[in-house]
Amino acid sequence: MNTESTFVLVERKDMVKIITLNRPPLNIVNPTMLRRLLEELQSTAQDRSIRAVILTGSGQRAFCAGADMGDEEAFGQEDVGKMFREMGRKCIGVIESLPQPVIAAVDGYCAGGGTGLAWPCDFVIATDKAKFGAKDAYLGMIPSWSVGMVRLAKWIGRRNALEILLMGQWFSGEKAKEYGLVNKVVPPEKLMDEAMEIANHLCTAAPLAIERLKQGVRKTLFDSFEEACRYEAESSDFIKTTWDAKEGIQAFMEKRKPNFQGR
């Protein structure tokens, strides 16, 4: 039987960390699971030997079908409910600000809080069996993790965001790709292979450059134009001073693969 200590599973494959949401069959989120996920993400940020992260769900029924609506601890007490909301927002902020790129590997249902965890990832790979949905309004609720109401329109435009949020209908991985929420759609049996291929490729890039690129794009979306330009200039000046920049140029001149160290 699934216990609290196994709500989030972690596996390491060379420089790739695989984090699996594990409350089958639907991997619904409760405060304990979210706390474990947040702890794992925060520890990942401190471990520069990890170059890429894959976030997925156990089984084939769901990546994550949302929050545990039957969890009285989370939704029956106002203070705990607010804590759950803030923890969700913090998780998403960590995913976005993590130095390493994060790949969501989505199979089955991805709804509510599940979309809140998947869509902020840097890459989203979905199967042709994946079903996405933001059905909050049809449960008498609204999204509260600063994704649906705050980020979604920035990512995919006002009309697409409102179509997803107001209609509340399930849509496929292919439709999610049309929206710009998914990078690639694959058969279920190829999901983790595809995610690992992307992760392994990302591991060959200069880690400090990857980190600055992630944050630069985020600033372009959410900060002012002037702040984004300032960050680009500062990052460019900094990257030129790194050991990896020198190694990259040297490797290019010597026609060999660079051996980036993240320094």
Same domain, 75 and 188: yes
Strands 8-13 and 16-21: antiparallel
State which residues form the domain around 142.
4-202
pLDDT exceeds 70 at position 74 = no
Place of tokens 């106002």: 78
Task: Give residue 93's pLDDT.
Answer: 95
Q: Is residue 258 part of a domain?
A: no
Please report the pLDDT score of residue 54 as a whole number. 98
Identify whether 231 is part of a domain: yes
Looking at the fold, whether 152 and 238 belong to one and the same domain comes out as: no
pLDDT at 84: 86
Are 151 and 219 part of one and the same domain? no
Which residue, 152, 147, 122, 149, is CA-closest to 216?
122
Single pTM value for the model: 0.94
Q: What integer is the mean pLDDT of 147-157? A: 95
- The pLDDT confidence band at residue 3, using thresholds 50, 70 and 90, is low
**Average pLDDT rounded to a whole number, residues 104-122:** 97
b/e per residue 14-34 (b: at least 16 CB within 10 A): ebbbbbbbbbeebbbbbbbbb
